Structure 1
Amino acid sequence: MSRRTRRVLWVVAALGSLPLLVVGLFALNGLALAGRQAPRMQHLADVPVAASRSPAGEATFVSYNIAKGFAHRGGLKFESREFVLAKLRRMAEVIRAEQPDAVFLSEALTELAPCNVDQVEYLARECGLPHVAAGENYNVGLPFARVAGGNAILSRTPLTPVANIDLAGRKPFWVTGNNRRALFVSAEFGGRPVLMAALHNDSFDMRNNLTQAQQLLDFVGDRPAILAGDFNNRPENASIKLIRDTGKFCGAFDGPPTFFEGTRAERLDYIFAPAGWELLESRVVADDTSDHRPLVCRFKVK
């Protein structure tokens, strides 16, 4: 066999093994490098802490589904980094104006190879909220080119990691649509630890959405907790009624719509605090940067 023939055979073999290599790296990322069950915690020590509008004994929270910064256009099409940053800058302006003590994010990307920007860290820096927790709902792709995103909490005060639990109906790692986890951390309010959960529940199967709500209540138990995010459930639906009927939470169980799509306008986002607290203010910010409007709630901490 001539040297030329050996080279041709080597090239053919290398090209033939390339798909196997890609599949192997995809599986490695999905099975070993992704699927973080523990919250990813950051303290951005170089970020000055923003002022809070809440006096002592009160706390202001924002719940905001940022729709991935509209980075994904469908299929394999993505927006430019400049487009995504422009969206994030506007979102940061809206959040900063509320001077919150904590922000609960849904649909926030920490990695996206085509227009890579950590949306969670960016908003934390821009809003002066240096204590950050992120919980992956999905992480798919290759180790050096992947999409990772989920829920997050940005806070003026320190956060302690608790869990990033799988919610009912979770699918294999290569399925990114409707794969849900719930991010739990703990922070101190009124001199005692309080659980804080950032949520984005099932948007297709309302029976599974109800199962997820019960799962969240079981996890919380009798501990004081804040549940905030995109519940994908309307005020009259079973999941919201279930949470209300426990008597363990206060907040606005009804109110103006938070989600807008075409002619649709629905209340899907909520912030529920421990029952011993008092809701002082609840309103929806009239800003259409995302398809969800930011929900702002202010509580008296008891």
Structure 2
Amino acid sequence: MTLNVQHGRGLDRKVNLERIALMVEREKIDIVGLNEVDCCFSRRSFFEDQGEWLASRLKMNYVFGPAIQTGRKRNRQYGNAFLSRYPILSNHNLIFRFKVPVAEPRSLLEAKVATDERNIKVFVSHFSIHPVLNDRMVRFLWESDHSEPTIIMGDFNRKPSSNAYRMMSEKLIDCAALNPHFTFPAKKPRSRLDYIFVTDHFKVIESAVIESDVSDHLPVVALLELD
């Protein structure tokens, strides 16, 4: 599953992590990529470490990759989280930014996961709206080694008609290509911005966009089988 959680703020404008946890349980999700996650960030999310809270509530392993760090000790953070029912063997967080701040920094969280079949690589990111930074992030992934089973998921901030989507789909499989649905805004969706891409080590059994009020984006889910 991939979901931009908008720091847990639902369509009712209330921050509620429990309903995200209930959805993950209901859909029986094994790995989850989350964008716009707060870690002790501000009053808007009650200074909660949201990734840790969800992982504890769901009894899942997790890692967090900040894109923004602020505060005196840089302990107020905002970025991406990855939750997994499988062991997480390693993780790395890569920051994309301009030397002169013209756009919000973005991060790309990479994790290696030990599934029952074999180890897989997972990338989770909230891609920049800024065209130069977005292109830099997409090109990094396009040029990455995809010789091992890899899942890339997140809010790409780009439609299927974009150059970014074309590049990603040249080397990777869009899990929802045969069953595409809009993902934003959640109330009356009219754009497809959130994706799960995989290498050809996977067979896509099915995919769907879930109707939900937990955020301003709709979650995308995919059932995958390792060849």
- What's the TM-score bracket when you normalise by the shorter of the two chains? 0.7 to 0.9
Structure 2 counterpart of 1:12: none
Identity of aligned residues (%): 26
Structure 1 residue 89 and structure 2 residue 18: aligned?
A: yes
* Gap runs ≥5 in structure 2: none
Structure 1 counterpart of 2:126: 200
CA distance in 2, matches of 1:259, 1:152: 20
Find the residue that maps to 2:143 and give its secondary structure. Answer: helix
CA distance in 1, matches of 2:134, 2:217: 19
Select which of 164, 171, 180 maps to 2:106.
Answer: 180
Structure 2 counterpart of 1:252: 176
CA distance in 1, matches of 2:150, 2:35: 18
Deviation string 1:280-301 (CA, Å, 9 cap, x unpaired) is 1111111122001111110111
CA distance in 2, matches of 1:171, 1:107: 22
Find the residue that maps to 1:265 and give its secondary structure. Answer: coil
Structure 2 counterpart of 1:104: 33
CA distance in 1, matches of 2:207, 2:42: 37
Alignment coverage as a number of residue pairs = 222
Structure 1 residue 124 and structure 2 residue 52: aligned?
A: no
Normalising by structure 1, report the TM-score: 0.67
Find the residue that maps to 2:48 and give its secondary structure. Answer: coil
CA distance in 2, matches of 1:176, 1:113: 23
Aligned-pair distance for 1:218? 2.2
Aligned-pair distance for 1:278? 1.1
Higher helix share: 1
Find the residue that maps to 1:244 and give its secondary structure. Answer: helix
Find the residue that maps to 1:108 and give its secondary structure. Answer: strand
CA distance in 1, matches of 2:21, 2:202: 28
CA distance in 2, matches of 1:243, 1:263: 26
**Contact 2:174-2:195 within 8 A present in 1 as well:** no
CA distance in 1, matches of 2:220, 2:135: 22
Deviation string 1:176-223 (CA, Å, 9 cap, x unpaired) is 9631010001013463322101111012x2343223111122234433
Normalising by structure 2, report the TM-score: 0.87
Aligned-pair distance for 1:262? 7.5
CA distance in 2, matches of 1:239, 1:288: 28
Amino acid paired to 1:116: F
Q: 1:134 and 1:162, CA in 2 relative to 1: closer, same or farther beyond 3 A?
A: same
Q: List aligned pairs for 1:110-259, cutoff 5 A.
A: 110-114=39-43, 115-129=46-60, 131-143=61-73, 147-167=76-96, 169-170=97-98, 178-189=104-115, 191-203=117-129, 205-246=130-171, 248-253=172-177, 255-259=180-184
CA distance in 2, matches of 1:159, 1:113: 28
Aligned-pair distance for 1:267? 0.7
* Gap runs ≥5 in structure 1: 1-61, 72-78
Structure 1 stretch displaced more, 116-125 or 175-184: 175-184
Q: 1:263 and 1:294, CA in 2 relative to 1: closer, same or farther beyond 3 A?
A: closer
Structure 2 counterpart of 1:3: none
The structure number with the bigger radius of gyration is 1
Structure 1 stretch displaced more, 255-264 or 181-190: 255-264
**What stretches of structure 1 move > 6 A for 4+ residues in a row?**
none
**Contact 1:134-1:152 within 8 A present in 2 as well:** yes
CA RMSD of superposed structures (Å): 2.5
Deviation string 1:47-68 (CA, Å, 9 cap, x unpaired) is xxxxxxxxxxxxxxx1011001
